[in-house]
């Protein structure tokens, strides 16, 4: 495929952007994963943009866009809206280029992301409780002050900056067959897919690009079926970094031609992937950045050959991380919460603890109440949180309790 057949940046544009982006972006590590390779049946590498400056790939597109501004535009300053990674990327790029930056963020933004954006020198304005409200406020600010609005994904310069990641991947894994990329608005995958497809076409080779979205925020499968960028209603997801209700127009035009497949994963899939990355690879990855690994773990990637999964970011609030780890443990049957009704007499709780111990499980928390909804006056209800070691162990614990005459109810 000639490099000019795709919408958006040409291969020459990506190469030029690489020279610009290299002024600030690190060449992030490429780690091999034996665990994921066993699941996939072929080599798997992890592209660690979670270790990038500002904690995500966003610095690439933001810096490339700001670097293209004229002196007159730079003097007017820039404005952006974001709940996290785009905000930090724009703030960092503006600081490096000596440009005044105003960033609108929702009131409930995670404290680490808010502090990081301010520490990069941006003027942060908190507005509204959803991403849509800061977006409107940023557009109004641009119109009233003349500041240049920096979009998170739907711009040629942004796509060119993000595509430098694709060229970097090819340098590190020359025998590449498949790349798995998280998708929100589509800036990252549009850039990576276009850069790689054009580079491979020059060599007479092919590369497979797979996009991954959170199931509760999956605008691309619908849009691709409709043949046009389509807005959807987003439902809550832990992958807030890719929760975008409508694909970018330029991004969609590139993706419909350059991306081979788009799949979705659930929040439980994402939580399991984050846990695997933490335990097996010793990598802290935010939910949006872990969807590529979730796609492999759910068995949706087949016949992939040598594969690179992009870990797009690592900016996660420690409190959110704690909750996600708990969810990942539960989704992996390593954390079991169950309820039992017991006669209200001495020794019953000790007997339950003994039975669980005999099944080689560990009780980590107990809630004991006489006010359970289903309890008789002569009963008490207990809620137990138990550490387990997978599905078979869960069945053994439950079976041991049932054999002893109890009726455990699993709390999902």
Which residues participate in catalysis according to the annotation?
58, 312
State the Cα–Cα distance between residues 359 and 166, nearest whole angstrom.
49
DSSP class of 382: E
> What is the DSSP pairing of strand 30-32 with strand 44-48?
antiparallel
> What is the DSSP pairing of strand 307-311 with strand 78-81?
unpaired
Decide: helix, strand or coil at residue 329: helix
- Beta-strand ranges (E) seen in 91-177 are 101-105, 123-126, 148-149
3-state DSSP percent of the chain in helix, strand and coil, to 5: 50, 20, 35
Judge contact between 50 and 88, C-beta under 8 A: no
Judge contact between 139 and 149, C-beta under 8 A: yes
Decide: helix, strand or coil at residue 150: coil
Residue among 193, 191, 210 nearest 305 (CA): 210
Judge contact between 90 and 82, C-beta under 8 A: yes
Residue among 120, 41, 136 nearest 86 (CA): 120
Sheet holding 307-311, edge to edge: 30-32, 44-48, 307-311, 178-182, 208-214, 261-265
Q: How many residues does the chain have?
A: 412
Q: Which residues pair with 289 in a beta bridge?
A: none
Q: Distance of CA 202 to CAs 150, 198, 264, Å?
A: 32, 7, 31
Burial class (CB in 10 A: 0-12, 13-18, 19+), 296: buried
Burial class (CB in 10 A: 0-12, 13-18, 19+), 98: exposed
State the Cα–Cα distance between residues 371 and 56, nearest whole angstrom.
48
Question: In sequence order, which residues have a C-beta less than 8 Å from that of residue 165 and are 6 or more positions away?
Answer: 47, 49, 57, 60, 188, 191, 192, 310
């Amino acid at each position: 495929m000639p490099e000019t057949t795709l919408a958006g940046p040409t291969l020459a544009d990506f190469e030029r952007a690489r020279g610009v982006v290299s002024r600030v972006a690190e060449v992030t590590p490429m780690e091999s994963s034996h665990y994921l390779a066993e699941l996939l049946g072929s080599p798997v590498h992890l592209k660690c943009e979670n270790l990038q400056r500002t904690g995500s790939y966003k610095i690439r597109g933001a810096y490339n866009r700001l670097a293209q501004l004229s002196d007159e535009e730079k003097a007017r300053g820039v404005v952006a809206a974001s709940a996290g990674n785009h905000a930090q990327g724009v703030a960092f790029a503006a600081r490096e280029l000596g440009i005044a930056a105003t960033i609108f963020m929702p009131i409930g933004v995670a404290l680490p992301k808010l502090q990081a954006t301010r520490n990069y020198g941006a003027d942060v304005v908190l507005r509204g409780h959803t991403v849509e409200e800061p977006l409107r406020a940023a557009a109004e600010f641009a119109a009233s002050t003349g500041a240049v609005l920096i979009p998170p994904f739907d711009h040629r310069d942004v796509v060119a900056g993000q595509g430098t990641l694709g060229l970097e991947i090819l340098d590190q894994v020359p025998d590449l067959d498949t790349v798995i990329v998280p998708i929100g608005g589509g800036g990252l995958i549009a850039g990576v897919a276009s850069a790689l497809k054009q580079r491979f076409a020059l060599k007479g080779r092919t590369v497979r690009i797979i996009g991954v979205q959170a199931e509760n925020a999956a605008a691309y499968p619908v849009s691709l079926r409709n043949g046009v960028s389509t807005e959807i209603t987003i439902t809550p997801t832990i992958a807030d970094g890719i929760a975008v209700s409508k694909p970018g127009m330029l991004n969609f035009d590139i993706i419909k031609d350059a991306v081979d497949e788009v799949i979705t994963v659930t929040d439980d899939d994402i939580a399991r992937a984050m846990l695997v990355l933490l335990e097996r690879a010793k990598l802290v990855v935010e939910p949006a950045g872990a969807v590529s690994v979730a796609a492999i773990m759910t068995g949706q990637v087949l016949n992939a050959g040598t594969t690179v999964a992009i870990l797009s970011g690592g900016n996660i609030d420690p409190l959110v991380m704690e909750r996600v780890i708990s969810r990942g443990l539960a989704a992996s049957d390593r954390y079991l919460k169950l309820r039992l009704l017991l006669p209200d007499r001495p020794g019953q709780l000790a007997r339950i603890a003994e039975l669980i111990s005999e099944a080689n499980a560990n009780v980590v928390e107990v809630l004991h109440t006489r006010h359970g909804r289903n309890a008789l006056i002569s009963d008490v209800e207990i809620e137990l949180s138990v550490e387990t070691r997978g599905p078979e162990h869960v069945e053994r614990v439950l079976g041991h309790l049932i054999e002893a005459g109890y009726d455990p109810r699993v709390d999902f």
